[in-house]
Amino acid sequence: MGFDGVELLHRQMQSEDKGYLQRLKRRAFVNGLDLCGFSTHQGFLSPDADFRQRNIDNTIHQIELAYDLGIPTMRVNTGTWGTSRNFDELMKNRGIEPPKEGYTDEDGFGWVIASLEKCLPAAEKRGVLLGLENHWGLGRTAEGVLRIVNKIDSPWLQVTADTGNFLEDPYDRLEMLAPKTILVQAKTYYGGGLWYALDLDYPRIASIFKKHNYHGYVSLEFEGKEDPLVAVPKSLKLLREAFA
Per-residue confidence at 16, pLDDT binned at 50, 70, 90? very high
Q: Which domain holds residue 185?
A: 5-243
CA distance 97 to 60: 27
Mutual angle of helices 49-69 and 18-30, in 10-degree steps: 50
CA distance 70 to 76: 17
- Residue range 18-66, pLDDT digits in tens: 999 999 999 999 999 999 999 999 999 999 999 999 999 999 999 999 9
Coil vs helix vs strand at 163: coil
The mean pLDDT of 225-242, rounded to a whole number, is: 97
- Residue range 61-80, pLDDT digits in tens: 999 999 999 999 999 999 99
Q: Given this model, what pLDDT does residue 2 score? A: 92
Taking a C-beta distance cutoff of 8 angstroms, is the pair 116, 44 a contact?
yes
- Describe the chain by its helix, strand, coil percentages, rounded to 5: 50, 15, 35
Taking a C-beta distance cutoff of 8 angstroms, is the pair 128, 160 a contact?
no
How many domains are there within the chain?
Answer: 1
The mean pLDDT of 103-116, rounded to a whole number, is: 98
- Residue range 131-157, pLDDT digits in tens: 999 999 999 999 999 999 999 999 999
User: Counting beta carbons within 10 angstroms of the beta carbon of residue 48, is it exposed (0 to 12), middle (13 to 18) or buried (19 or more)?
Assistant: exposed
Question: What CATH number does residue 23 fall under?
Answer: 3.20.20.150
pTM above 0.75, yes or no: yes
**Mean pLDDT score of the chain:** 97
